């Protein structure tokens, strides 16, 4: 009976020791799990660069992605807010955004500002100019040319007038592009 009592006491003691030493280990693993979840939720620089590139490519697909991202930003959706992008813009700075014939470069300028501001912050001016500026400028030209292809469903201009207005719009787009290539 004494042997049984000492064995039970030893088991109880070892159980108590196990419970007290395992507690912090279990608590540590729970807090580590929470930390790894928040770390997994944080966006890395590599992920931010990949998302930024997808929004600033010289393609219609990228423009569509940027439009969707802007909509998400305006709706304060976490899917885009987690990247902490700079969405500030002055549109076309001191150049006219609205062009005769109902054309507007406002959204082309907004996406251009978005690319410039975010890349300069993320990679610095040197790597921005070296690796990203040319692509963003070309996307800007594409976006302006797409704007110049706009034609209202109830066009008040004759086909000849519209042709001249469109040509003037494309000429203005080229000038804006040349300006950002030279000065941007």
Mean pLDDT (whole number) for 78-101 = 96
* Residues of the chain above pLDDT 70, percent: 78
Asked whether the beta carbons of 104 and 152 are under 8 A apart, the reply is: no
Mean pLDDT (whole number) for 122-147 = 97
Task: Give backbone dihedrals phi and psi of 103, rounded to 5 degrees, phi first.
Answer: -85, 145
Global pTM value:
0.77
**Helices in 42-184 by DSSP H: which ranges?**
45-56, 60-74, 78-81, 106-131, 133-148, 159-183
pLDDT of residue 184: 84
Q: pLDDT tens digits, residue range 1-35?
A: 444 444 434 444 344 433 334 433 334 434 444 44
Q: pLDDT tens digits, residue range 52-78?
A: 999 999 999 999 999 999 999 999 999
Neighbours of 55 (CB within 10 A): 24
pLDDT of residue 133: 97
Using CA atoms, how far apart are residues 67 and 117, in angstroms rounded to an integer?
17
pLDDT of residue 36: 40
Pairwise pLDDT comparison (144 vs 4), residue with the higher score: 144
């Amino acid at each position: 009976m004494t042997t049984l009592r000492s064995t039970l006491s030893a088991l109880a003691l070892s159980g108590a020791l196990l419970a007290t030493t395992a507690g912090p280990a279990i608590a540590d693993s729970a807090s580590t799990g929470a930390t790894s979840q928040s770390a997994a939720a944080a966006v890395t620089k590599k992920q931010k660069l990949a998302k930024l590139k997808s929004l600033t490519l010289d393609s219609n697909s990228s423009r569509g992605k940027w439009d969707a991202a802007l909509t998400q930003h305006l709706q304060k959706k976490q899917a885009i807010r987690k990247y902490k992008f700079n969405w500030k813009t002055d549109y076309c700075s001191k150049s006219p955004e609205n062009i005769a014939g109902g054309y507007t470069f406002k959204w082309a300028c907004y996406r251009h500002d978005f690319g410039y501001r975010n890349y300069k912050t993320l990679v610095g001016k040197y790597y921005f100019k070296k690796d990203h500026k040319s692509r963003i400028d070309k996307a800007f030209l594409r976006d302006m040319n797409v704007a110049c292809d706009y034609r209202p469903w109830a066009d008040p201009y004759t086909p000849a007038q519209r042709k001249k207005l469109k040509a003037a719009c494309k000429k203005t787009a080229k000038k804006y592009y040349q300006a950002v290539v030279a000065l941007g």
